[in-house]
A and B are shown apart, each in its own frame.
Chain A
Amino acid sequence: MVLLHPDERSEEGRMSTVTVDSRPAPQLSRNLTNARLPKWAPAGVAVLSVALGAAIGAGGGLKSHLQWGLIAAVLFLVISYGVSAKVEGRRQAKDRLATSVVWVAFVAAVLPLASLTIYTVQQGAKVVDGNFLSHSMRNIIPSGPGGGIYHAIIGTLEQVGLATAMAAPIGLLTAVYLVEYGRGRLAKAVTFFVDVMTGVPSIVAGLFVLSVWNLALGFQYSGFSGSLALAILMLPVVVRSTEEMLKLVPNELREASYALGVPKWKTILQIVIPTAIGGITTGVMLAVARITGETAPVMMLVFGADAINTDPFNGPQANLPLFIWQQYANVNNDFGYARAWGAALVLIVFVMGLNLIARGIARWRSPKAGH
């Protein structure tokens, strides 16, 4: 048997020579596991690259912290790949690179979102007080200080309320149709178009209501025409979530009800819907949260007003998102920005509050699938 240099041997050859040469075991185990980086290596590399990024950024006189961050991210990826490739081999290095990329993606997502929240709260908290919440913009010079969003809050509540009053029952009935009755082509078409309707841009919904309600039927700007557009945007969201919830209601409940001779419509009204009511409420509230922040359709249909108008059917109204837009675009100075931030904070708190409550309800009484 020709003795080859250990490195040149095939796997099989090595096995046989081990017995012949009776080489010591430790060498074998070294072949089986590569050298590994210590557990703290990724964290160490992260700290190092952030420090380097900051140093390069500060040294190079880069003003924007976005650049600092980008430099740090690239350094992090390069260093962790390089170190790992040197110590652990290329496959492991690729694995580490992928892990690093995923972590960088996580940080890249958190940072702008955190910045958005913190900035809004910071700017908004300076403005929001009792006076801001309880006064309108009436007799306030737009380019000057003062004023408030009371009229906009009223407008938003009324318009969203009306939209919900229209969209929630229709959406609920549509979902009942799809889950309890829906067979055949009509149901298929409805399902497909509910999905497609979810993607209708809000500005298109606004244009549609404008062309029908205001141009063809000749109505004036009012809170109600805004609610019509909002209802169109809300409808598919309600249908979709209600449908999911009704599907979760166990069939045994329906069958038990039929077995007792209860007609189908009563079964639906008294058994199916009450069982799923928690989830349905959640869906409706999430939909309300979504349309509360819509600006585009409201911009065209509600028109905006400085004074309090409590009648959504007559005359222009204000609305929170619209108020923010007008303070930014029409006033366009620091007083306008301040009011816009105040309104933005109130809007975010309202929408987030709705979301949290809705998800709370969902957790509290969602129907359990099966047993």
Chain B
Amino acid sequence: MTSSPPTATRGRDRRRSDSRRGDAVFFNLSRGAGILLLVVMAAIAGFLAWRSGLALGKNQGNFLTTFEWDPDNITKPVFGVAVLAFGTVVSAVIAMAIAVPVAIGIALFISHYAPKKIAQPFAYLVDLLAAVPSIVYGLWGVLWLVPHMAGLTSWMDTYLGWTYVFDQTQAGVTPRNLFTVGVLLAIMILPIITAVTREVFRQVPRTHEEAALALGATRWEMVRTAVIPFGKPGIISASMLGLGRALGETVAVATVLSPNSKLSLHVLDLGSGTFAQNIALKFGEASSFGRDALMASGLVLFVITLLVNGAARLIIARRKEYSGANA
């Protein structure tokens, strides 16, 4: 008849309860961190909504359709996001129109076209460039890009002026306009769009590509029929991630764009503004009510980027097998 000595049992019990307590502590700690993150997200929305509510109650104009931003006017505080929303969307659209095709080209270059010796270091370089701080882009944008855009701007005015959009009504002004901002934003979001698209293109099954080539397709036909359709969800979500960045970019826009409260589709003219730029520039001299008004515009920006990013993530999640997120 054998029975374990009582001391050993007690020791094992103590160890087990220790480990249980340790597990419980660790589990709750890590779950608490996760909950904290959700709380922060909720608090961002909550606090911004609260401060915006304070401001919107006293606004004399319509928040959505007013052009001016003059919350500190004592007799008639008026502010609205019409121009800001317009400028934000237009500059982001220009950026996307330039960046997405170029990024797809670069991604194809890295994944399918480049000689192996160039592809890897170049991919690495693109990743590194994602880390260049936006203030440096801004400084370069205003001191290098803006002077160099002058020729191109007058050129577009001459040859594409008939499109209305590229008609420059104030001839010869420094091109600190929405178009230059769009070009700069395109350069800034290029690395992130390229990185995601490239990963998707790399995951195209070799068999699909070989099947296309075996049927006599040229390389371009192979890319068009096998690679692009496969990578489409990836391209869309990558573009939306880039869009989210472009919408929220602050200092690069603030250094380059010369703001005013005009709403015009002439993208080569001075003027307009973006949410983030407006906050950055008006913030310093705003009264506490003016700050609340800026919070209201910040809330609009937050909601827009939330929707864009959420949609991008949902697209990735639905086609998870393509995204590389479940490596």
Interface residues of A (CB under 8 A from B): 62-67, 70, 91-92, 94-95, 97-99, 101-106, 108-109, 112-113, 115-116, 119-120, 169-171, 173-174, 176-178, 180-182, 186-187, 189-190, 192-205, 207-208, 210-212, 215-216, 232, 235-236, 239, 244, 247-248, 263-266, 268-269, 286, 289-290, 292-296, 299-300, 321, 324-325, 328-329, 337, 340-341, 344, 347-348, 351-352, 355-356, 359, 369
Contacts and interface: CB of A to CB of B under 8 A. Distances in A.
A180 B23 CA distance: 12
A216 B283 CA distance: 17
B309 A195 contact: yes
Interface of B: 19-20, 22-23, 25-27, 29-38, 40-41, 43-44, 47-48, 50-51, 101-106, 108-109, 113-114, 122, 124-126, 128-129, 131-140, 142-145, 148-152, 155, 187, 190, 194, 218-221, 223, 241, 244-245, 247-251, 254-255, 276, 279-280, 283, 288, 291, 294-295, 298, 301-302, 305-306, 308-310, 312-313, 327
A329 B122 CA distance: 34
Contacts of A216: 47
A347 B131 contact: no
A208 B47 CA distance: 7
Most buried by A among B101, B114, B131, B137: B131
8 contacts: A70-B152, A94-B218, A170-B33, A177-B30, A181-B30, A215-B51, A263-B23, A296-B251
Contacts of B151: 62-64, 66-67
Given A195-B309, A203-B276, A265-B19, 15 more contacts: A102-B105, A106-B106, A109-B190, A115-B144, A177-B30, A181-B31, A202-B250, A211-B47, A247-B327, A248-B327, A263-B19, A286-B131, A324-B139, A351-B133, A352-B128
A236 B38 CA distance: 11
A180 B29 CA distance: 13
Contacts of A244: 327
A286 B127 CA distance: 11
A103 B177 CA distance: 29
A341 to B, nearest CB: 7
A348 B35 CA distance: 35
Contact of A99 (B113, B194, B241, B276): B113
Contacts of B327: 244, 247-248, 369
A226 to B, nearest CB: 14
A311 to B, nearest CB: 23
B136 A177 contact: no
Contacts of B30: 173-174, 176-177, 180-181
Contact of A203 (B22, B135, B150, B298): B298
A95 B101 contact: no
Given A94-B220, A95-B220, A170-B33, A329 B255 contact: yes
A293 B133 CA distance: 5
A104 to B, nearest CB: 7
Nearest to A113: B129
Main secondary structure of the interface of B (DSSP, over half): helix
A321 B219 CA distance: 45
Contact of B149 (A66, A174, A190): A66
A190 B113 contact: no
A196 B310 contact: yes
B126 to A, nearest CB: 7
B47 A328 contact: no
A204 B26 contact: no
A122 to B, nearest CB: 10
Contacts of B114: 106
B248 A199 contact: yes
Nearest to B126: A109
A199 B276 contact: no
B221 to A, nearest CB: 7
Contacts of A325: 135, 138, 251, 254-255
A210 B255 CA distance: 23
B304 to A, nearest CB: 9
Contact of B280 (A296, A324, A337): A296
A258 to B, nearest CB: 11
Contacts of B133: 292-295, 321, 347-348, 351
A62 B305 CA distance: 40
B241 A102 contact: no
Contacts of B25: 265
Contacts of B155: 62, 67
A108 B47 contact: no
Given A95-B218, A98-B219, A174-B33, A296 B250 contact: yes
A178 B133 CA distance: 30
A180 B26 CA distance: 11
Contacts of B23: 263-265
Given A62-B151, A64-B148, A190-B37, A106 B109 contact: yes
A108 B106 CA distance: 9
Nearest to B47: A211
A171 B40 CA distance: 13
For the complex of A and B, list the 9 residue pairs with the smallest distance between their C-beta atoms, beginning with the closest: A293-B133, A201-B248, A105-B105, A64-B151, A263-B19, A199-B309, A173-B33, A98-B220, A265-B26
A55 to B, nearest CB: 17
Given A66-B148, A67-B151, A192 B34 contact: no
Contact of A263 (B22, B104, B113): B22
Nearest to B218: A95
